[in-house]
Amino acid sequence: MKHHPRNPRARGGRKRQPSRRDPLIGFEAPVTIEQIGARGDGIAHVQSPDGKSVLVYVDCVLPGDDVRVALRQKRGDGYGAEVVEEISRTAAYNSPRCSHFKECGGCALQHMDDGAYRIWKRDKAKVAVQRTGLSADEAEELVAEVEVSPPASRRRAGFSVHVGETGVYVGFHGRFSPTVLNVPDCAVLRPELMTFREAFVGFLKSCPVDDARHIKEVFVTLADNGLDILIEASNEPDLDMRQELAVFVDAQNIARLSWKVGDRPEEPVAARHIPLVKFESIDVPVAPGGFLQATQEGEHALVSAVKSALADIAPKQVADLFCGIGSFTFALALSGKRRTVTAVESDPRAVERLQYAAGQSGSPIKVVKRDLFRQPLTGDELTHFDLVLFDPPRAGALAQCEALAATGPEWILAVSCNPATFTRDIRVLRNGGYKIEKVVPVDQFLWSSHLELFAVLRRAQD
């Protein structure tokens, strides 16, 4: 290889550019909050030193609040900002129910009074419906009042865990922060979950520090017959830890405690009995960390909406897609006049448990394991049904909705936990000839920006 003489003036390696600090980070200005955004934060505009209007997102404020903010980080097309001075608050401001409100990232709107909060949630539903291609007047007519779960009603929670030199922390992350905060008085969780959290902090304090540090998260579900606990950790528990966990489970009257490392299957470490939930008086086993509706009140609201629709439609052959362990399956099969239900789910754990419960109860339910994202029901498969219900994860059911738009039955019941994918999926169905008959908003995540939507759709008749 030919070598060229080195230029003595050349500097080795890449020239390092000096870091450029955003000049607006730390900039302070007074603002009037204009509206609440989709994530529950306040939206306003400030004038930068060069005279430009800058969009800012501000936590813990309401429309009409006058506050002084400091810009903290770039966020999308604007900046996240922190309140450094409260100048005046709107009359809609309510004292937060939780002492951790401003530091904890769990709730966005505890400071909004109940009336304004319900209006904001219903408006969120109306916007989702309008974006399917309907007018504001049509959305106003279609969207029912919001079914809101009360405080201290959420029966599922994932607590982050940090064990370090400063102590043991079991709680939630701070606002836009990786820091784990202890939350001894959460206002949205069921008291049974908070009692467990306090006991688990004590348990971790009693463990050798090196063992406790392996635990990263603990998922708690309140089944109908006790707590189901799933610990996610970086290592398997040793014999001593297993023995201590068994004692802890007995002392706290826990139904089951499982341990999971990475992508490996969860392992039951201590089990007093199988966690169960009832759907239409049928006992259904719950998988460790498995999905349930977040609150019993929210589940009841959604099931009531399904039963109301069934009374008007009176179908005979029903498909329940993305069925989980049967949140709606048994209501579809057993409420009123019995009807045959084909329940489809991809999670093998949920399929196994639903098959068991359906078999034990003698319900007219056929359970099918199938990935509806990759292999949606299509064509002739759909012609057997006169009603389809789907309840997908947050990603929605685009492929299945495209198939339904082409060859779906007369009636569809849609459940969605994401207004954005709800809009996309319903627009596909409307383009295929379906008309929205009714929309019911259900709020299971109190004081957050999350919202669940139930919709009844009917194919337009020629």
Q: Tell me: the pLDDT tens digits for 92-139?
A: 888 888 888 888 878 889 999 999 999 999 999 999 999 999 999 999
The set of catalytic residues is 417
- Per-residue pLDDT, averaged over 373-391, amounts to 96
The pLDDT confidence band at residue 4, using thresholds 50, 70 and 90, is: very low
Q: Is the torsion defined by CA of 348, 353, 354, 355 positive or negative? A: positive
> Which CA distances in Å does 57 have to 125, 407, 447?
21, 44, 17
Question: What pLDDT was estimated at residue 195?
Answer: 97
- Per-residue pLDDT, averaged over 331-355, amounts to 96
Question: What pLDDT was estimated at residue 39?
Answer: 86
Answer yes or no: are the C-beta atoms of 366 and 340 closer than 8 Å: yes
The pLDDT confidence band at residue 462, using thresholds 50, 70 and 90, is: low
Pull the structure tokens for residue 258: 């499982």
Pick the residue with more confidence: 13 or 269? 269
Q: Count Cβ atoms below 10 Å from residue 268 Cβ, excluding itself.
A: 12
The pLDDT confidence band at residue 336, using thresholds 50, 70 and 90, is: confident
Answer yes or no: are the C-beta atoms of 230 and 292 closer than 8 Å: no
Answer yes or no: are the C-beta atoms of 329 and 354 closer than 8 Å: yes
The pLDDT confidence band at residue 38, using thresholds 50, 70 and 90, is: confident
Question: What pLDDT was estimated at residue 154?
Answer: 98
Helix (H) or strand (E) holding 340: strand 340-345
- Per-residue pLDDT, averaged over 385-397, amounts to 97
The answer, yes or no, to whether residue 23 has pLDDT greater than 90, is: no
Q: Where in the chain is the domain with CATH 2.40.50.140?
A: 28-93
Question: What pLDDT was estimated at residue 275?
Answer: 98
Residue whose structure tokens are 């359906």: 358
Nearest to 403 by CA among 372, 426, 373, 376: 376
The answer, yes or no, to whether residue 19 has pLDDT greater than 80, is: no
| Percent of all residues in the chain with a pLDDT value above 70, rounded to a whole number | 95
Cα–Cα distance measured from residue 400 to residue 344, given in angstroms and rounded to the nearest whole number: 12
Residue whose structure tokens are 């090196």: 210
Sort strands 147-148 and 434-443 into parallel, antiparallel or unpaired.
parallel
Query: CATH classification of 28-93 is 3.30.70.1150, yes or no?
Result: no
> Which CA distances in Å does 246 have to 126, 163, 254, 262, 287?
49, 21, 10, 22, 19
Question: What pLDDT was estimated at residue 16?
Answer: 54
Answer yes or no: are the C-beta atoms of 310 and 332 closer than 8 Å: yes
| Percent of all residues in the chain with a pLDDT value above 90, rounded to a whole number | 82
The answer, yes or no, to whether residue 395 has pLDDT greater than 70, is: yes
Question: What pLDDT was estimated at residue 15?
Answer: 52
Question: Residue 272: which residues within 8 A CB-CB, separation 6 or more?
Answer: 226, 249, 250, 253, 254, 255, 256
The pLDDT confidence band at residue 175, using thresholds 50, 70 and 90, is: confident
Q: Where in the chain is the domain with CATH 3.40.50.150?
A: 118-150+292-459
Residue 444 burial (10 A CB sphere; 0-12, 13-18, 19+): buried
Question: What pLDDT was estimated at residue 9?
Answer: 43
- pLDDT, averaged across the chain: 93
Which class is 118-150+292-459 in CATH?
Answer: alpha beta
Single-letter code of the amino acid located at 158: G
**Buried b or exposed e, range 58-72, using 16+ CB within 10 angstroms:** bbbbbbbbbbebbbb
Answer yes or no: are the C-beta atoms of 128 and 115 closer than 8 Å: no
Question: What pLDDT was estimated at residue 268?
Answer: 95
Q: Name residue 345's beta-bridge partners.
A: 369
Answer yes or no: are the C-beta atoms of 219 and 158 closer than 8 Å: yes
Cα–Cα distance measured from residue 52 to residue 454, given in angstroms and rounded to the nearest whole number: 42
The answer, yes or no, to whether residue 11 has pLDDT greater than 50, is: no
Question: What pLDDT was estimated at residue 3?
Answer: 45
Nearest to 109 by CA among 72, 151, 51: 151
Residue whose structure tokens are 């394991």: 369
User: Domain 156-276 maps to which CATH number in 3.40.50.720, 2.40.50.1070, 1.10.760.10, 3.10.20.30?
Assistant: 2.40.50.1070
Answer yes or no: are the C-beta atoms of 258 and 268 closer than 8 Å: yes
Q: What is the pLDDT of residues 42-99, one digit of tens each?
A: 999 999 898 899 999 999 999 999 999 999 889 888 999 999 999 998 888 888 888 8
Pick the residue with more confidence: 97 or 213? 213
Q: Where in the chain is the domain with CATH 2.40.50.1070?
A: 156-276
Using alpha carbons only, give the angle 415, 420, 425 rounded to the nearest 5 degrees: 55
- Per-residue pLDDT, averaged over 418-431, amounts to 98
Cα–Cα distance measured from residue 381 to residue 300, given in angstroms and rounded to the nearest whole number: 30
The pLDDT confidence band at residue 177, using thresholds 50, 70 and 90, is: confident
Residue whose structure tokens are 């908003």: 441
Answer yes or no: are the C-beta atoms of 373 and 345 closer than 8 Å: no
Question: What pLDDT was estimated at residue 143?
Answer: 98
Query: What does the DSSP 8-state code read for residue 217?
Result: E
Cα–Cα distance measured from residue 291 to residue 295, given in angstroms and rounded to the nearest whole number: 11
